[in-house]
């Protein structure tokens, strides 16, 4: 009887949750941290009163697994995606699963930061660099410092299986001739570990469990401002970057609300919201958060989105084989 009651309760709970999503005026799937996702939605609702928004948050690989399962079942719930990288959205575009929308706000962005057909738009620049605990004996300046004897057994990084930014980062560094996959083999030989997402890396280094971490920029810079014993370094060889693009699903049932969401996050007001949260806005003419160097002082390493998409499966396997990580 208890088992039957539990099963019934679970069915009712899932039904109510599904009903809540269906009743919303807009459903957002995002990889933003919870507090940032809520702030983004709150800002949008303030600018667009009367639009009810429901949002779901997880890492980009998990969000895509959920979305792909829904698409396969013929019932995708999301109207809008705001996730880590353009490579993931390029895959959806090529599969005909994104709606083209020519946002008037695109005029304020470099053309390299949005899809020419309007399938997706970058909202911010999120780089990946090195954080270290202030008690660490070595102060790293570049990527290769993490393979030094001083860093042996003291390095942690997110897994591409849990983080879209981590996959883009690995693909970017792997394409640098002075680094490549050999660099990752050297990291593994030096005792580096790869597991979980960026949040786990931040916690590990801030607590002193590990001395060094590979992590997205805003997390350690934000926590340092709160008093955490950590520093963040933009490595001298350059940094990878994801742009957390936004896109509308072709299957959306709320196209008008979805277009308003796109316009909002690309607008000056929406970009100011990201700036206040500690991100580098993608929109031209915006400032940078406290603790960041000027945008022209950050060396961005290039990545070819088409090649990255084509090689994603192989690159995930290569990384997984080196670090013995599993999904």
Could you give the C-alpha distances from 81 to 26, 125, 139, 287, 296, in angstroms and in order?
11, 17, 38, 25, 29
Between the two ends of the chain, the Cα-to-Cα distance in Å is: 36
Give the H/E segment covering residue 180. helix 180-189
**pLDDT tens, residue by residue, 206-227:** 999 999 999 999 999 999 999 9
- Pairing relationship of beta strands 193-194 and 155-157 according to DSSP bridges: parallel
DSSP state string for 30-42: E-S-HHHHHHHHH
Strands 212-216 and 240-242: unpaired
Q: Which residues contact 97 (CB under 8 A, 6 or more apart)?
A: 71, 249, 250, 251
**CA 56, CA 33: separation in Å to the nearest integer?**
11
- pLDDT at residue 4, rounded to an integer: 41
Instruction: State what percent of residues in the chain have pLDDT above 90.
Output: 81
Q: Give rounded-to-5 percent helix, strand, coil for the chain.
A: 45, 15, 35
* Top-confidence range, 3-17, 203-217, 296-310: 203-217
**Across the chain, what does the average pLDDT equal?**
91
Could you give the CA distance from residue 36 to residue 31 in angstroms, rounded to a whole number?
A: 10
Amino acid 55: pLDDT: 98
As a whole number, mean pLDDT of residues 286-294 equals: 91
Say how far apart CA 253 and CA 137 lie, in whole Å. Answer: 55
Residue 234 in contact with residue 129, Cβ under 8 Å?
Answer: yes
Return the SS3 of 272.
Answer: helix
Measured between alpha carbons, how far is residue 44 from residues 77, 162, 186 in Å? 19, 28, 45
Could you tell me the maximum CA-CA distance found in the chain, to the nearest angstrom?
66
Which domains, ranges and CATH numbers included, belong to the chain? 2-123+244-289 (3.40.190.10), 125-241+300-323 (3.40.190.10)
Q: Which two tokens stand for residue 14?
A: 């899932």
Q: Are 248 and 101 in contact (CB under 8 A)?
A: yes
Q: What is the DSSP letter of 79?
A: S
pLDDT of residue 322: 97
Q: What is the pLDDT of residues 43-86, one digit of tens each?
A: 999 999 999 999 999 988 899 999 999 999 999 999 999 998 89
pTM for the predicted model, two decimal places? 0.78
pLDDT higher than threshold 70 for residue 326: no
- Dist CA 212 CA 232 (whole Å): 10
């Amino acid at each position: 009887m208890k088992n039957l009651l539990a099963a019934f309760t679970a069915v009712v709970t899932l039904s109510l949750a599904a009903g809540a999503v269906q009743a919303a005026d807009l459903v957002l799937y995002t990889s933003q941290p919870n507090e940032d996702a809520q702030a983004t939605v709150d800002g949008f609702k303030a600018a667009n009163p009367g639009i009810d928004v429901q949002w779901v948050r997880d890492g980009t690989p998990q969000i895509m697994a959920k979305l792909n399962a829904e698409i396969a079942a013929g019932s995708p719930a999301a109207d809008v995606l705001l996730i880590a990288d353009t490579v993931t959205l390029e895959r959806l575009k090529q599969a005909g699963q994104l709606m083209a929308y020519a946002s008037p706000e695109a005029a304020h962005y470099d053309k390299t930061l949005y899809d020419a057909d309007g399938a997706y738009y970058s909202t911010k620049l999120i780089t990946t660099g090195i954080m270290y605990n202030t008690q660490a004996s070595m102060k790293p300046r570049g990527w290769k410092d993490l393979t030094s004897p001083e860093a042996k057994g003291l390095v942690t990084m997110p897994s591409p299986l849990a983080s879209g930014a981590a996959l883009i980062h690995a693909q970017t560094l792997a394409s640098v001739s002075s680094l490549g996959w050999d660099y990752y083999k050297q990291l593994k030989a030096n005792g580096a570990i790869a597991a979980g997402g960026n949040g786990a890396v931040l916690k590990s280094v801030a607590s002193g469990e590990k001395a060094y971490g590979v992590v997205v920029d805003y997390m350690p810079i934000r926590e340092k401002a709160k008093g955490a014993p950590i520093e963040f370094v933009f490595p001298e060889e350059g940094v990878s970057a994801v742009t957390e693009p936004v896109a509308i699903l072709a299957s959306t049932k709320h196209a008008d609300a979805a277009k308003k969401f796109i316009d909002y996050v690309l607008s000056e007001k929406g970009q100011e919201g990201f700036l206040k949260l500690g991100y580098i806005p993608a929109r031209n003419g915006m400032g940078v958060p406290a603790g960041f160097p000027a945008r022209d002082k950050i060396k961005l390493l290039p990545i070819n989105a088409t090649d990255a998409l084509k090689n994603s499966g192989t690159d995930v396997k290569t990384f997984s084989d080196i670090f013995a990580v599993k999904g």
